[in-house]
Chains A and B, each alone.
Chain A
Amino acid sequence: MAPDPDPTIDLASVVDRLRARVAERRAAGEYPPELEAELAEHAAAVLGRPAGSGEGAATAELAALLGAVEATRDLRVDPDQLAVDSRVPGGARIHQLIVRSASRLDQQLADQLQHHASATTSLARAMLEDRSRHLDDTHARLDARVDGVADVVASLRRELGAAEQVLDALVERVASLEASLAAALDALDARQASEDRPAPTDG
């Protein structure tokens, strides 16, 4: 058996403490700034997106609806399911007899409805197949576009490879020029030093 509640625990104070703790965590930087606003924005963006409303989802939804239509294939009139209530003593029995005698007509009506439902199902199935074909076509077109983009990327990669080779050659050439320039400068310095030396005098 559960213990008796403790009247000294004030749940309103507990909630106050929870509020204060949230404020402390925010002040201490335990949560990123604007965490709640960002979460709310994220949720609104995701839920606002037409999730599941793409072409494929729409087709799946149509297929599910078609399944629901097909589930009514065996439409039967069940006299036991028809209400035969009556306020008059014995009235229910009379209603029951009427329902039973009318059930054949009801079944004929149900059969006609069934023919109509079958035609509707065929139409829905044809529309669904047509839609699926259309989606397949779209998929093929998208595949072709992706292949095209892949070709362009490969071509760019090749060009980039060639450009890298040219760049490497340029780097080597610059290094070589830098080395030549350094040698020339060294030679120039040596020459300048010998010219600055004082000429020997007669004694």
Chain B
Amino acid sequence: MGLTYCRPVAVRQVLVGATPGDAVTNSALWLDDVLRAAGVDASIVARHRHPALTSRVGPLAPAGTALGPEDWLLVHLSIGDVEVADLLAATPARLALFHHNITPGRFVADLDPGFAAELDAGRALLHDLRPRVERAWAASAFNAAELVDLGYADVEVAPVVVPPPGRWDDVEAHPATAHHLEVVVDGPLVLSVGQLLPHKRPDLTVQAFHVLDTYLRPGAHLCLAGGSRFPAYAAGLQQLVNELVLDHAWFSGHVPDAELAALWRAAAVFVTTSEHEGFCVPVVEAMHHGVPVVARGHGALAETVGDAGLVLDADAGPELVAEALASVLDDDGLRAELVARGHRRAAVLTEAAEVGRRHLVAALGPGSGTA
């Protein structure tokens, strides 16, 4: 009588880069938690791993070899990478895809042609993977539509980039930052959260703040919180602030959770003038913290904001953005309404994310493979 070995299906998530605080990385970590809690043999591997994450994220190299044809490789594609492409081509595992969206290379072609080429290679890989991908999810309907355009079928929308409930409950605001904001920021704080990348248009946010500060609401403050991949671009933005003599505008760089919590709690309004977003997690964070949202209607932003924020025309210029900011700052009724709607919208998206994670586990977890 032969011995039959039954083992659980393994689900390995593949990232190109794993970085603390990054939305794609976070979504993979939260999904990993849910998969493990369901008894799935789950793990995460990445081509580039931040040292702080090596205990949770393994190296890419042996990832494909230890999987069988009944296992799943869930790819979070954010950029092209030769080694990831090779792994996906070689693995015998079943392929699943999560589409967070990929920034079109044209936005950074002038700053870094190599990086632009990698971004475009990511989009090309999205196309090439289609025949092999058995299950596909997208963070937004906007992203799902992109996959459908590429020929993907049955794409499910699951905003798993939204944190699980209670994500911010245990994050105490950094005392020194909170004190600094209380003492130094003597006017309403306009907060923008996101990396300083050209497609997020921080330059337009600065221009809008110039209009707000000069013509509509002197005394407001602007903080642009987020790291920068391109030092020259960040230096240019600082130069723009200097030349417009915006004494109350500053760049915080990348901030850890505790400092970000202090900023959220001090903020009077959140603004994004981005031109390309596959979801935009800071919108949900703003709503969770009771901060009204002003955004331009690009990419998935109108979808994420829903009816809980001021979504301006996609081509809104600095004057309209500034008018919206002034309106939120000065109209208490509108402000209270946006806060109430924001709380409700954040709760809806948080629940949708939980449902999405459960669907993913059901689709990839126990019962999805063969013994």
Q: What is A's interface to B at a CB cutoff of 8 Å?
A: 2-6, 9, 11, 14-15, 18-19, 21-22, 25-26, 30-31, 35-36, 39-40, 42-43, 46-47, 49-53, 57, 61, 81-83, 85-87, 89
Q: How far is the CA of A49 from the CA of B215 in the complex (A)?
A: 27
Task: Establish whether residues A36 and B318, one from each chain, have CB atoms under 8 Å apart when the complex forms.
Answer: yes
Query: Number of contacts between A and B (CB, 8 Å)?
Result: 115
Per CB-CB distance, the 9 closest pairs between chain A and chain B, nearest first, are A52-B235, A51-B236, A85-B66, A47-B236, A51-B235, A2-B343, A36-B317, A52-B232, A39-B207
The chain B residue with its CB closest to the CB of A26 is B319
List, sorted by A's number, 17 A–B pairs whose CB atoms are closer than 8 Å: A2-B343, A3-B336, A5-B308, A5-B341, A11-B311, A19-B313, A19-B320, A22-B319, A30-B215, A31-B215, A36-B317, A42-B240, A52-B231, A52-B232, A57-B235, A83-B66, A89-B5
Indicate whether B203 reaches chain A with its CB closer than 8 angstroms: yes
The chain B residue with its CB closest to the CB of A81 is B54
Q: Which of B215, B243, B327, B336 contacts A46 (CB 8 A)?
A: B243
Question: Least Cβ distance of A99 to chain B in Å?
Answer: 11
Task: Establish whether residues A15 and B312, one from each chain, have CB atoms under 8 Å apart when the complex forms.
Answer: yes
Task: Establish whether residues A4 and B231, one from each chain, have CB atoms under 8 Å apart when the complex forms.
Answer: no
Task: Establish whether residues A5 and B340, one from each chain, have CB atoms under 8 Å apart when the complex forms.
Answer: yes
Residues of B within 8 A of A42 (CB): 240, 243-244
Known: A5-B341, A21-B323, A35-B319. A83 touches B239 (CB 8 A): no
The chain A residue with its CB closest to the CB of B306 is A11
Q: How far is the CA of A9 from the CA of B335 in the complex (A)?
A: 12
Known: A3-B336, A42-B240. A18 touches B232 (CB 8 A): no
Task: Establish whether residues B323 and A22, one from each chain, have CB atoms under 8 Å apart when the complex forms.
Answer: yes
Q: Which of B7, B237, B308, B336 contacts A87 (CB 8 A)?
A: B7
Q: How far is the CA of A40 from the CA of B5 in the complex (A)?
A: 66
Residues of B within 8 A of A51 (CB): 232-233, 235-236, 239
Additional A-B contact list (19), CB under 8 Å, known A5-B340, A21-B323: A2-B290, A2-B339, A3-B336, A5-B308, A9-B333, A9-B334, A15-B324, A25-B323, A30-B215, A35-B319, A39-B210, A46-B243, A49-B239, A50-B232, A52-B232, A81-B59, A83-B61, A87-B7, A87-B66
Known: A14-B310, A52-B235. A4 touches B203 (CB 8 A): no
Q: Which of B68, B318, B336 contacts A39 (CB 8 A)?
A: B318
Task: Establish whether residues A35 and B240, one from each chain, have CB atoms under 8 Å apart when the complex forms.
Answer: no
Question: Least Cβ distance of A60 to chain B in Å?
Answer: 9
Task: Establish whether residues A40 and B319, one from each chain, have CB atoms under 8 Å apart when the complex forms.
Answer: no
